[in-house]
Structure 1
Amino acid sequence: MTEPVESRTARRQPMVAEVTLARRGRAAVVRASGALDSENVAALDGELARAAELSGQSRTVVDLSALEFADSSVLHVLLDAQRRHRADDRQLVVCGPLRPVVDRLFGVTGTTEFFVLAEDVDAAVNAAR
């Protein structure tokens, strides 16, 4: 006779991320930390939209140095933000240093050339236009 075995469903823990917006000189700095995926990437999208609307800001810096994980949804949001910034004659600069998993996302997808990349926030804020 067989006895029923309790079935366990693996539940994925939600990704935890923090996305902030600050001003630094004439740049808006959006900083993402933790892990971003399709379930929480709206936070990044929202702050990038807010950054694009700030008056007196000619550049948005996206600091991904504290981002531990990113999937293709993050890349999609960054590409959309890049298009919006270009349409408004504003510059979007992505900076790190990038963690290997985030760097690999750009490399594998061949999207590195679509962005202005800088080593860190200081370099991104002062990047030549």
Structure 2
Amino acid sequence: MTGSPDVEGVRVITCAGEFDQDNLEPLRQAWTQAVADPAVLRIVLDVSAVSFADSSMLNEMIRLRRADTDLVLAGPLSPQMERLFELVSAHQIFTIADSVEAARTL
């Protein structure tokens, strides 16, 4: 997990690999720092390299969305994440862009 420097108020948090309840703490820390930073106007969560995400990651993303942040997910979503989003109609909750660059400029 990496966070890129802010460019014009956009913080990009890049996630890669598998995410479940046992390994979400680095993601929580990155989100907490981004939300607390008044210079951050938008958080782009790059999930294009996430190979697995369970409901605990989805719950964290929903919490972040509810934190009154401008959150954009950058994909494309993996087939597994796409299925998870379909099961819970998460496409209605999140803004999803095709790339990080597209997410920056929405």
TM-score norm. by structure 1 comes to 0.77
C-alpha distance in 2, partners of 1:43/1:105?
A: 22
2:45 aligned with 1:62: yes
Find the structure with the greater CA-based Rg. 1
Structure 1 stretches of 4+ moved >2 Å = none
Report the equivalent of 1:97: 76
Q: Percent identity?
A: 31
| Greater relative contact order structure (CA < 8 Å, 6+ sep) | 2
Displacement, 1:99?
0.9
Report the equivalent of 1:123: 102
List gaps (5 residues or longer) in structure 1: 1-18
CA contact (8 A) 2:6 2:40 kept: no
List gaps (5 residues or longer) in structure 2: none
Q: Which has the higher helix share?
A: 2
CA contact (8 A) 2:43 2:72 kept: yes
Matched position secondary structure for 2:80: helix
Q: How does 1:1-129 map to 2 (within 5 A)?
A: 19-25=1-7, 26-84=9-67, 86=68, 90-127=69-106
CA contact (8 A) 2:74 2:100 kept: yes
Matched position secondary structure for 1:98: coil
Displacement, 1:74?
0.4
